[in-house]
């Protein structure tokens, strides 16, 4: 099979297409479905008429993701408790060798940003993803979405303003997060409430996503005392049946807890100035299926 076959061309661009679809949807299974639909469109295309395969494939994927997002929202399904994106294993070492580019990609796929993106319209979200995460010029985004460039610029300005107003106002340093995550786990495993609380910002928040299908707070917990006591109690009750490992997810280090070899919980911390500002817990089993075998 030559390097120029349609299959090889598509596979070469699959990571970018998956990145676009996941940032649009926040759900791994839906993103994979969109990429598969893009493949079906690509396999039936007249490839001799496609001058820029990447642009063509990103356009198809983005439009399919916009349609899928509209379908999801039209269903208006209620969600039990706080919502978090489905954990997504990320590795930007090969696709983004430049440190600044890696930082942009990591930020655009973080829990904090994806939660904010849920409140954007599908078109605003598409413009934000293509512009902020992948650096597409406004003219190209306009062609992708079949909109005028002026309209795209307005969508971009609204999306950026909305995200800036609601996203955390601190930068998460990868090395600091990894170090603090290890210290956090050690304090929780030892049941050392004082040590754990020393790692938490006074206004720390714990956001637990269970979808009503596992044990987790149905409301966001706030303050170091409430979050610390909850974590110590949960660790004491659950530690004996869980094994832990670190993985790279959503742009940074995360903790995967396994029960009987199956994914049980994903924990990730947002940290700054040496303390934890947000604890994310994903326990909805439907959102952990893609991590089986990790």
CA distance 144 to 63: 8
Pair 89, 181 in one domain:
no
For the cut 90, the answer to whether the pLDDT of residue 200 exceeds it is yes
With both helix axes pointing from N to C terminus, report the angle between 53-75 and 6-25 in degrees, rounded to the nearest 10: 40
Residue 123 lies in a domain: yes
Pair 162, 184 in one domain:
no
Of 127, 148, 166, the residue that ends a domain is 166
Pair 162, 178 in one domain:
no
Residue 112 lies in a domain: no
Pair 215, 127 in one domain:
no
* Nearest residue to 217 via CA among 233, 198, 203, 202: 233
Pair 156, 226 in one domain:
no
For the CA atoms of the chain, what is the radius of gyration? Answer: 20
CA distance 177 to 231: 18
For the cut 70, the answer to whether the pLDDT of residue 76 exceeds it is yes
- Beta-carbon count within 10 A of 57 CB: 25
CA distance 277 to 83: 18
CA distance 99 to 60: 29
Pair 137, 256 in one domain:
no
Pair 157, 75 in one domain:
yes
Residue 111 lies in a domain: no
Domain count, the chain: 2
Pair 187, 286 in one domain:
yes
For the cut 50, the answer to whether the pLDDT of residue 251 exceeds it is yes
Pair 180, 273 in one domain:
yes
In tens, the pLDDT along 99-149 reads 566 677 788 899 999 999 999 999 999 999 999 999 999 999 999 999 999
Residue 110 lies in a domain: no
Pair 144, 211 in one domain:
no
Pair 162, 179 in one domain:
no
Please report the pLDDT score of residue 100 as a whole number. Answer: 63
For the cut 80, the answer to whether the pLDDT of residue 293 exceeds it is no
Please report the pLDDT score of residue 120 as a whole number. Answer: 97
Secondary structure letter of residue 132 according to DSSP: I
Phi, psi of 59 (to 5 degrees): -60, -45
Domain holding 241: CATH number?
Answer: 3.10.450.50
Pair 158, 182 in one domain:
no
Residue 1 lies in a domain: no
Domain holding 151: CATH number?
Answer: 1.20.140.160
Q: CB–CB of 266/253 below 8 Å? A: no
For the cut 90, the answer to whether the pLDDT of residue 184 exceeds it is yes
Q: Does 239 or 33 have the greater pLDDT score?
A: 33
Provide the domain limits for residue 88.
6-104+117-166
pTM over 0.75: yes
């Amino acid at each position: 099979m030559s390097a120029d076959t349609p299959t090889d061309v598509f596979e070469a661009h699959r990571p970018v297409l998956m990145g676009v679809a996941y940032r649009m949807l926040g759900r791994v299974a839906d993103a994979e479905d969109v990429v598969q639909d893009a493949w079906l469109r690509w396999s039936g295309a007249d490839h001799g008429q496609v001058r820029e395969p990447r642009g063509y494939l990103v356009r198809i994927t983005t439009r399919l993701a916009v349609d899928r997002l509209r379908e999801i929202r039209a269903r208006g399904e209620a969600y039990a408790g706080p919502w978090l994106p489905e954990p997504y294993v990320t590795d930007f070492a090969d696709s983004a060798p430049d440190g600044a580019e890696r930082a942009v990609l990591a930020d655009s796929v973080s829990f904090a940003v994806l939660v904010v993106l849920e409140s954007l319209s599908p078109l605003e979200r598409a413009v934000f993803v293509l512009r902020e995460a992948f650096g597409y010029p406004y003219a190209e985004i306009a062609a992708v979405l079949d909109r005028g460039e002026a309209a795209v610029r307005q969508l971009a300005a609204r999306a950026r303003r909305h995200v800036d107003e609601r996203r955390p106002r601190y930068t998460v340093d990868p090395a600091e997060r990894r170090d603090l995550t290890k210290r956090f786990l050690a304090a929780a495993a030892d049941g050392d409430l004082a040590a754990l609380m020393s790692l938490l910002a006074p206004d720390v928040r714990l956001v637990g996503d269970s979808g009503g299908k596992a044990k987790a707070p149905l409301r966001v917990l706030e303050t170091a005392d409430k979050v610390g006591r909850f974590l110590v109690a949960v660790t004491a009750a659950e530690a004996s049946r869980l094994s832990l490992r670190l993985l790279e997810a959503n742009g940074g280090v995360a903790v995967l807890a396994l029960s009987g070899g199956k994914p049980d919980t994903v924990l990730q911390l947002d940290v700054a100035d040496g303390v934890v500002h947000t604890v994310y817990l994903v326990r909805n089993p439907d959102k952990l299926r893609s991590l089986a075998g990790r």
